[in-house]
Structure 1
Amino acid sequence: MTTTPGAPGTEKQLRETLEALAHQVQPAPDAYRTARGDWLRRERRRRLVLAVLITVVFALAVLIGLWVLNQAPSGSGAIFTGAHSPAGSAPHTPVRPVISP
């Protein structure tokens, strides 16, 4: 007798077969401990790689910044030369009005 996939007995047969197979499976006694240890090792490795990557990127940014600052010409300090000060940057001293008696 051939059963079609939508027949009511097919689901029952499939359930019974899968239950029989599931009863034959015996879990390893230390499977959880092994899986958890593997997961913790991967997590530690991921965090270590991330910390190293962040350190390398930060160090590289600092080195590039120092290199750029070192490449600036030494005679072109236009901001704080001390020789000429812009008109708007001089401190304003208030002038008191003279009141004659």
Structure 2
Amino acid sequence: MPEPLATLVLETSFRVPGLGVLAVPAAPGAAALLAYALHTALAITLLAEGQPPLALTGTVEELAHAGQPPRRALLLDFDPGGALPSGTRLQLAAALPDLY
């Protein structure tokens, strides 16, 4: 199995109905997402405590709140039925080819 490009730890996440989960990584690991253009698709492994690793796809997105600088986040093509707990780890495995 290849080495992950980066391992991110979740600060928070939000379920986005119909789209998946917006995962907001904690600093300093979140800086790893700056290497990718917005909407870049990534192969990701979800590492949740007490669960087997789960391979999924996510895209690099930007999250902005009023009065704060924008932050990078991952929109995971995955619906666990709610938000993921803080501290969940995400391993970035590879950038996927752009299909468009």
With the length of structure 1 as denominator, give the TM-score of the two structures: 0.13
Between structures 1 and 2, the one with greater strand share: 2
Between structures 1 and 2, the one with greater helix share: 1
With the length of structure 2 as denominator, give the TM-score of the two structures: 0.13
